[in-house]
Structure 1
Amino acid sequence: MNDVLAVSGLKRSFTQGEETIHVLRGVELTVAEGEIVALLGPSGSGKSTLLQAVGLLEGGFEGSIRIAGEETARLDADGRTRVRRDSLGFVYQFHHLLPDFDAQENVVLPQLIRGARTDVAQERAAALLAALGLRRRLTHRPSQLSGGEQQRVAVARALANRPALVLADEPTGNLDEATANIVLAQFLDLVRGEGSAALVATHNERLAAKMDRTVRLHDGVLES
């Protein structure tokens, strides 16, 4: 089985006044095709910094990040945008849906940006939302949806372009426990059904136990 993500020697430091803060200290990580990995660590441990690096959302990192076999360190801004569009999906703690678009349109839009036909994108969006229990909510705008429903739309949007790797940063952290359990179960089922891999940052041991493997971020390095 091939690795969809291979991180080697990843470092990130910040300077505050005369002090240098080392957030990542040579992280080594692989995620295989179809594997769901929990990234466990307390708040402030650097989980989001690691996801931002892997998601090619921020510069200033040292080391190697290979996504779907491609070394990203050599890419320019257009190349990084291409990898994010074609190989990655993102789910955040807050849904970040477009408020003026309904649920289906929010899932259609990233497909259109990638060049899909409108009818194909609409069919794909409807199928993903139906799989998440939102068949009757396609034309509802975010303000008309509950928090759990909004996060389900965000999950569908992340998977719309069939990414090789989904990056999720505390994807149920803004939900009550009962809703979080439902949304996480649906997220895991859908990711597995789509054949994508996922790296899911969480501080919740119980949720992490539902994934294929857990790695822990401690003092800037990962421990299995």
Structure 2
Amino acid sequence: MSDAAVNSGVGPVVELRRVTRSFEQGGVRIDVLRGVDLKVMPGEIVALLGPSGSGKSTMLQAVGLLEGGFGGTIVIAGQPAEKSDSKQRTTLRRDHLGFVYQFHHLLPDFNAIENVVLPQLVGGTSREVAEGRAKELLIALGLGKRLEHRPSQLSGGEQQRVAVARALANKPKLVLADEPTGNLDEATSEKVLEQFLDLVRGQGSAALVATHNERLAAKMDRVVRLHEGLLE
């Protein structure tokens, strides 16, 4: 975590206060989140640890404002998100958040550069600047010779590196990563995670990374554990 952020008294990038989420399944109420409290400070990388089915993805969906139905308070970059309308939530996601998923979700008809350029154009960046930023990130991720390749021409690890570049392209305050290397073999997983963490730290972003892997979680600044709907 950035010492400057702590010492300057800067507030959290995201704060969750008593966040809840329940589902009805077969007439039975399932409480996935039962009052989650969490603060992530600027520049801090937090591992969200828990087994499959513990609610990690649900919690990231809450932080990412990706669906409704959540109770409690979610504050992103000082703005209470639960009081925002759909347009305001879209703006919060665009201006402050980046996303990396277990599966890359790249656009199949666009090459690596184009996949990283597009979110920047949506955010109002000029094409020239966006292409420069895309090349910078992809080269840093070891893809300098794969810039013009489409996802189908890339390996699984290369596809996920493009997804990492896309998530970081707009220099978000907070990157949300849901098992970002869970679909890769162990060696590739280690390499991609190290590159991801280096880039996040290098640009001063914070990150909340969901994983079930204790070894990967240990590489981050802090570990929180989701157990029976609460953080430990």
Common fold, TM-score beyond 0.5?
yes
1:15 CA displacement: 1.0
Structure 1 residue 70 corresponds to structure 2 residue 59: no
Q: Distance in 2 between matches of 1:119 and 1:139?
A: 16
What are the within-5 Å matches in structure 2 for residues 40-79 of structure 1? 40-79=49-88
Q: Distance in 1 between matches of 2:137 and 2:74?
A: 29
Q: Distance in 1 between matches of 2:154 and 2:25?
A: 41
Structure 1 residue 19 corresponds to structure 2 residue 35: no
1:18 CA displacement: 2.7
Name the residue aligned to 1:36: 45
The alignment partner of 1:73 has SS state of helix
The alignment covers a number of residue pairs equal to: 223
Match of 1:216 among 210, 225, 228: 225
Q: Distance in 1 between matches of 2:91 and 2:37?
A: 24
Match of 1:126 among 122, 135, 145: 135
The alignment partner of 2:103 has SS state of coil
1:163 alignment partner AA: P
Structure 1 residue 92 corresponds to structure 2 residue 124: no
1:17 CA displacement: 3.2
Q: Distance in 1 between matches of 2:30 and 2:75?
A: 25
Q: Distance in 2 between matches of 1:12 and 1:4?
A: 21
Name the residue aligned to 1:171: 180
1:71 CA displacement: 0.7
The alignment partner of 1:30 has SS state of strand
1:16 CA displacement: 1.8
The alignment partner of 1:43 has SS state of coil
1:177 alignment partner AA: E
Q: Distance in 2 between matches of 1:45 and 1:182?
A: 26
Name the residue aligned to 1:144: 153
Q: Distance in 2 between matches of 1:89 and 1:195?
A: 13
The alignment partner of 1:154 has SS state of helix
Which TM-score applies when normalising by structure 2?
Answer: 0.95
CA RMSD of aligned residues (A): 0.6
* Identical aligned residues as a percent: 73
2:189 alignment partner AA: A
Which TM-score applies when normalising by structure 1?
Answer: 0.99
Q: Distance in 1 between matches of 2:143 and 2:175?
A: 21
The alignment partner of 2:83 has SS state of coil
Q: Deviations over 1:120-151 (max 9, x none)?
A: 00000000111111111111111111100000
Q: Deviations over 1:52-83 (max 9, x none)?
A: 01000010000011111111011100000001
Q: Deviations over 1:1-56 (max 9, x none)?
A: 33101000000001123311100000000100000000000000000000001000
The alignment partner of 2:82 has SS state of coil
Q: Distance in 2 between matches of 1:83 and 1:36?
A: 20
Structure 1: segments with no counterpart, 5+ residues: none
Structure 1 residue 155 corresponds to structure 2 residue 164: yes
Q: Distance in 1 between matches of 2:115 and 2:27?
A: 45
1:104 CA displacement: 0.4
Name the residue aligned to 2:199: 190
Q: Distance in 2 between matches of 1:156 and 1:195?
A: 15
The alignment partner of 2:40 has SS state of strand
Structure 2: segments with no counterpart, 5+ residues: 1-5
